[in-house]
Amino acid sequence: MINEYRTHNCGELKIDNVNEEVRLAGFVQTIRNLGKMMFIDLRDENGITQIVIAETAGLEEKVKDITKECTITVSGKVVERSSKNPKISTGDIEIIAEDITVLGKCKNALPFEINVEGQNVREDLRLEYRFLDLRNENIHKNILLRSKIMKDFRTIMDELGFTEIQTPILANSSPEGARDFLVPSRLHPGEFYALPQAPQQFKQLLMVSGFEKYYQIAPCFRDEDPRADRSPGEFYQLDFEMSFVTQEDVFKVIETIIPTVFKKNTDWKVEEGPFVRIPYKEAMEKYGSDKPDLRNPLIIEDLTDIFEGTEFNAFKDKTVKAIVVSNMEDKPRKFFDQMSEYAVQELGAKGLAWVKVDSESNLSGGISKFIDENRKAKIFEKMKVIANSAIFFIADEFEQAQKIAGGVRIKLGTELDLLEKNIYKFCLIVDFPMYELSDEGKIDFNHNPFSMPQGGMEALLTKDPLDIYAYQYDLVCNGYEIMSGAVRNHDQDIMIKAFEIAGYTVDDVKNRFGALFNAFSYGTPPHAGAAPGLDRIVMLLAKEDNIREVIAFPKNKKARDLLMNAPSKVFDKQLEEVHIKLNLDEE
């Protein structure tokens, strides 16, 4: 059956099609009216074809309603273009229009231009008219890329013998580290479902059920504040779990699927596995971050022992971190002042000390007068300082010094253009602490409460909780965490003790994780898994800095959907049906 609207798409006609009668349909991208001749660039998601409307064609009445971004169908003959356009796939031909029908009218006044380079459109306006924004070629390609990446993941997981299984969206509340989205129950007054922060318990139950290799592209819901690299409210991950495996078995899967999918969807170099393993503690010491960008060659050194006993007040009784940068002889004082200003205003530092090293390896500028020859020699030896370098110093309490040094490292790498180009570099961060201190000073889970502690029950019974490591791991790419995972705690007794240390009673565990707790009484295989984040992977492969550019209908920086006006108020009757009364402060 012949399609009523088109015989070809707008990206496939070539010189071989000359003299054919064709019919195209699409969006009007541009209109150039030259009086006796009108040119239209007709666009669909496959490409652009130029349409020529001659004055003699008798189409005046039909073309008067044509505006940019309206949809039309055009019938006509393919001819060779006299002025060819090598920038588009159909640049050798054009269509001489014989008939035109407007399929969908469009207002003359667009809220913004669709495919105009260099325009600066306010993001909230783009999101309010997202259906128009998605017509933009770059954004449109991002969504198509996302679809391809999902297909690639499914293909390789199927090839590796994994079974795709969907888990519930209406679930129970779980301590995953973020706030839950709660859904009130109409049938069970006063009780709530929670949208899953991850399919954690369900995939573990699938392992208990004998499904040895599970995966799904899972929606996850967390009530977190928005960031450029994190979508508020919801995100998607490639969730997978395996039975009778160790941490290394999971790494082998990751080192197979990630490079494969990346190489299929980029022209950049992609690092192959095995990926470098970096213990969490080492990552914080060397990079000041648990998601280090290994394209950046700068390394943080700890100089606290060298400055022990110093009378320099800024360093006295402080943790001292330092970063050395070579080839700094031409950098003016202004650069150092700007770095100091950034550290104070953006990173919360009390200051950023520095010195320059000249061609004779003498110190100058900054805090050079506070560094004696003995300390200078030790610094040079430890940091392998060479001539014409600069050294930046951060002094603060331990954790704050690490954090600030990490931020300074990133800023220096960016400002000095030190990052390795056109490459995706990966590392696995391992040996995360099992526990951490909460803001209130209580022992809390650091990462995932369902992880197996290294050392098992003996570690839980004999070690300081803050000294216990977990079989937890993250995959990092170019400074972004793109996967988290763990070897799961499959032993009921170890589970009870692990939660007890974090302040949960046995009854708490039974009430909150009853299904999992009960299942562990019926022969549970050792199991482990991970969850690469789809949104961030697409963002990296699309070479975007903002995750909203790779999501079809994202929320804005305030977690609002401006297109659908969500969240929004509901009718009193709807609240009554789910047994909810609002207690809002009057504005």
The pLDDT, as a whole number, for residue 579 is: 93
User: Is the full-model pTM beyond 0.75?
Assistant: yes
> What is the pLDDT averaged over residues 412-435?
97
Decide if pLDDT at 124 tops 90: yes
Domain 140-277+425-573, second-level architecture: 2-Layer Sandwich (3.30)
Decide if pLDDT at 175 tops 60: no
Decide if pLDDT at 483 tops 80: yes
> What is the pLDDT averaged over residues 145-164?
98
Q: How confident is the model at residue 457 (pLDDT cuts 50, 70, 90)?
A: very high
The pLDDT, as a whole number, for residue 56 is: 77
CA distance 278 to 56: 72
Decide if pLDDT at 210 tops 60: yes
Residue count (the chain):
587
Percent of the chain with pLDDT over 70: 99
The 10s digit of each residue's pLDDT in 243-262 is 999 999 999 999 999 999 99
At position 124, the amino acid (one-letter code) is D
| Closest to 10 measured CA to CA, from 28, 27, 24 | 24
> What is the pLDDT averaged over residues 121-145?
95
Could you give the count of Cα atoms lying within 13 Å of 548 in the half-sphere of its Cβ?
20
Phi-psi region of 282 (alpha: psi -120 to 50; beta: other; left: phi over 0): alpha
Q: How confident is the model at residue 586 (pLDDT cuts 50, 70, 90)?
A: low
Decide if pLDDT at 232 tops 90: no
Distances from the Cα of 519 to the Cα of 295, 449, 515, angstroms: 44, 17, 6
Selected from 3.30.2270.10, 2.40.50.140, 3.40.50.1360, 1.20.1250.20, the CATH number assigned to the domain covering 15-104 reads 2.40.50.140
3-state secondary structure of 100: strand
Could you give the count of Cα atoms lying within 13 Å of 69 in the half-sphere of its Cβ?
17
| Closest to 181 measured CA to CA, from 241, 251, 242, 232 | 232
CA distance 462 to 464: 7
Percent of the chain with pLDDT over 90: 84
Q: How confident is the model at residue 224 (pLDDT cuts 50, 70, 90)?
A: confident
> What is the pLDDT averaged over residues 69-83?
96
Query: What six digits make up the tokens of 539?
Result: 């963002």
The pLDDT, as a whole number, for residue 447 is: 81
The pLDDT, as a whole number, for residue 174 is: 66
Look at 118 and 26; give whichever has higher pLDDT: 26
Query: What six digits make up the tokens of 431?
Result: 């040996």
The 10s digit of each residue's pLDDT in 320-356 is 999 999 999 999 999 999 999 999 999 999 999 999 9
At position 422, the amino acid (one-letter code) is N
The pLDDT, as a whole number, for residue 60 is: 86
Domain residue limits, the chain? 15-104, 140-277+425-573, 296-419
> What is the pLDDT averaged over residues 161-165?
98
CA distance 474 to 276: 12
> What is the pLDDT averaged over residues 536-556?
96
Decide if pLDDT at 176 tops 80: no
Decide if pLDDT at 90 tops 70: yes
In the predicted model, what is the mean pLDDT of the chain? 94
Decide if pLDDT at 531 tops 70: yes
Decide if pLDDT at 228 tops 80: no
> Kind and range of the H or E element at 490?
none
Cβ neighbors of 449 (< 8 A, separation 6 or more) are 175, 176, 498, 499, 502
Q: Are 93 and 80 in contact (CB under 8 A)?
A: yes
Decide if pLDDT at 380 tops 60: yes
> What would the CATH number be for the domain defined by 296-419?
3.30.1360.30
The pLDDT, as a whole number, for residue 140 is: 95
